[in-house]
């Protein structure tokens, strides 16, 4: 009965939900937030429901499977290296676009009177927070970085115990497969969730909030688009990979990221895209993609803070020195690792960068008015980078199935689920 629905490519179903949602939001106005937004909220809740158990079982299974085949430390080092390289390039793109658009020139707005700058935890505190005092609380509260740490430790323990835990390792593998199947079910709801999220956003926002800061919105969207197309595309070409194939395979994860504005909400779709569509080894992807969702933030942690820094300098008429530009670069690249897992990453990162450059933090209160619109593109950039790096590392280490990558399916639905689960990678 629903075969006709599943014959439509996944990305087209999501795109249709986006267009219809925008139309419904425009026609209904504020009422769309009341009546249609709950569909989006339900979808996000479903995604968050599966994210933690999916990561937990996948990381345990991945660590035990990668042990003896590939050095986890070596793979982690390569992954972190590419995280840093792409973040540095993202800062450069953000600064270049800021100089062209001058987003802070001519803006005559004041921060809201109740705005208070965010308190940023110290690097030592962030590092300590990676280790959960109660792993069950970390699972219950969805602290992904703590979940990764505990699951990795448990995976190493299973490897160390060898044959004594063979049954438990098999059980974890089966649980991981079950969560992958649950993920397929939930992802099929994406077009409906997209419809509700976009309808509520368009109905609530209108255009009055965008006009005064329209230059900043355009600058951020253009910077993110250029970074995705030219930086990510150039790195793929340098690795002998067709960028069009990558963007086709990553489309589902990118779409979910854009409409949900959450790396963690997009994590199941991103993980599915990387393995099912792009051919990255499932065990490595189970380690790299959740890690990227915690600390790989090219949009929120590099492009946005650099644009916000230039915006603040231009808004207050401050002439930036060379030392301040260096501070913006270093704070953007290193800060994304140092604020891993902290809620409100974009605001926290911008606070870190502005503080490092000695710029007024109050300017962030002005940008909060358009934060939801900005967050859509920032998050899509984040998640695209979170999918790109595992592809690059997999290509370098022989963990990429080139046949799957070149086929580049854009559909991450339930079709072929049985065949795929029976096919080793």
371 token code pair: 């934060």
What pLDDT was estimated at residue 208? 64
378 token code pair: 């920032």
280 - beta bridge partners?
A: 400
What pLDDT was estimated at residue 245? 95
Burial category of 20 from C-beta neighbours within 10 Å (exposed 0-12, middle 13-18, buried 19 and up)? middle
What pLDDT was estimated at residue 67? 59
What pLDDT was estimated at residue 53? 92
Is the distance from CB of 332 to CB of 306 less than 8 angstroms? yes
Is the distance from CB of 342 to CB of 254 less than 8 angstroms? no
Task: Give the closest residue to 201 by CA, choosing from 369, 44, 377, 22.
Answer: 22
What pLDDT was estimated at residue 69? 52
% residues pLDDT > 70 (the chain): 89
Backbone angles phi, psi at 342, to 5 degrees: -80, 130
Contacts of 358 (CB under 8 A, 6+ apart): 324, 327
**Alpha carbons 368 and 347: distance in angstroms, whole number:** 9
Q: What is the largest CA-CA distance in the chain?
A: 69
Q: What is the pLDDT of residues 170-218, one digit of tens each?
A: 999 999 889 988 988 888 888 999 999 889 888 877 666 667 788 999 9
Q: Give the least confident one: 7-21, 266-280, 373-387.
A: 7-21
Percentage helix, strand, coil for the chain under 3-state DSSP, each rounded to 5: 75, 0, 20
**Alpha carbons 422 and 258: distance in angstroms, whole number:** 32
Of 106 and 306, more confident: 306
Helix axes 214-226 and 304-315, enclosed angle (nearest 10): 150
**Alpha carbons 173 and 377: distance in angstroms, whole number:** 35
What pLDDT was estimated at residue 114? 67
- Residues 318-339 have a mean pLDDT of 82
Is the distance from CB of 224 to CB of 377 less than 8 angstroms? yes
Q: What is the pLDDT of residues 15-50, one digit of tens each?
A: 899 899 989 998 998 898 889 989 989 988 998 898
Q: What is the mean pLDDT of the chain?
A: 85
What pLDDT was estimated at residue 263? 85
Is the distance from CB of 28 to CB of 36 less than 8 angstroms? yes
What pLDDT was estimated at residue 409? 76
Backbone angles phi, psi at 280, to 5 degrees: -75, 140
- Residues 109-132 have a mean pLDDT of 74
5 pLDDT tier (thresholds 50, 70, 90): confident
**Alpha carbons 297 and 382: distance in angstroms, whole number:** 5
Is the pLDDT assigned to residue 131 strictly greater than 80? yes
Q: What is the pLDDT of residues 390-424, one digit of tens each?
A: 999 999 999 999 999 998 777 765 554 433 433 43
Is the pLDDT assigned to residue 150 strictly greater than 90? yes
Helix axes 345-356 and 371-397, enclosed angle (nearest 10): 90
Q: What pTM was computed for the model?
A: 0.84
What pLDDT was estimated at residue 420? 42
- Residues 56-76 have a mean pLDDT of 76
Is the distance from CB of 272 to CB of 188 less than 8 angstroms? no
How distant is the alpha carbon of residue 1 from its chain centre? 35
- Residues 368-386 have a mean pLDDT of 90
Neighbours of 264 (CB within 10 A): 21
């Amino acid at each position: 009965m629903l075969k006709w629905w599943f014959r439509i490519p996944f990305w087209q179903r999501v795109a249709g939900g986006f267009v219809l949602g925008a139309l419904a939001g425009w026609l209904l106005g504020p009422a769309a937030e009341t009546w249609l937004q709950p569909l989006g909220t339900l979808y996000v809740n479903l995604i968050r429901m599966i994210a933690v158990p999916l990561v937990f079982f996948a990381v345990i299974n991945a660590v035990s499977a990668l042990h003896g085949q590939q050095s986890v430390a070596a793979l982690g080092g390569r992954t972190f290296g590419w995280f840093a390289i792409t973040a540095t390039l993202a800062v450069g793109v953000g600064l270049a676009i800021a100089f062209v658009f001058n987003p802070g020139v001519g803006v005559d707005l004041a921060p809201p009177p109740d705005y208070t700058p965010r308190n940023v935890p110290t690097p030592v505190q962030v590092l300590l927070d990676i280790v959960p005092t109660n792993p069950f609380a970390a699972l219950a509260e969805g602290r992904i970085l703590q979940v990764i740490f505990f699951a990795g430790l448990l995976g190493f323990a299973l490897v160390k115990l060898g044959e004594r835990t063979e049954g438990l390792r098999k059980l974890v593998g089966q649980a991981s497969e079950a969560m992958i199947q649950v993920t397929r079910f939930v992802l099929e709801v994406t077009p409906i969730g997209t419809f509700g999220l976009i309808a509520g956003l368009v109905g609530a926002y209108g255009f009055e909030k965008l006009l005064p800061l329209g230059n900043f919105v355009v600058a951020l969207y253009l910077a993110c688009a250029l970074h995705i197309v030219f930086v990510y595309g150039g790195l793929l070409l340098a690795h002998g990979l067709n960028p069009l194939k990558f963007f086709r395979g990553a489309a589902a994860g990118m779409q979910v990221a854009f409409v949900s504005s959450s790396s963690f909400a997009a994590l199941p779709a991103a993980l599915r895209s990387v393995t099912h569509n792009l051919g990255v080894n499932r065990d490595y992807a189970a380690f790299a993609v959740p890690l990227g969702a915690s600390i790989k933030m090219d949009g929120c942690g590099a492009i946005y803070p650099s644009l916000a820094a230039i915006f603040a300098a231009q808004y207050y008429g401050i002439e930036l020195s060379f030392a301040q530009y260096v501070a913006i670069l270093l704070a953007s690249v290193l800060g994304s690792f140092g604020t891993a897992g902290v809620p409100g990453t974009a605001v926290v990162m911008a606070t870190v960068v502005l503080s490092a450059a000695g710029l007024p933090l109050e300017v962030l209160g002005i940008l909060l008015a358009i934060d939801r619109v900005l967050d859509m593109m920032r998050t899509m950039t984040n998640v695209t980078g979170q999918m790109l790096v595992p592809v690059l590392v997999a290509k370098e280490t022989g963990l990429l199935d080139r046949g799957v990558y070149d086929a580049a399916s854009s559909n991450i639905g339930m079709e072929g689920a049985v065949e795929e689960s029976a096919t080793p990678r």
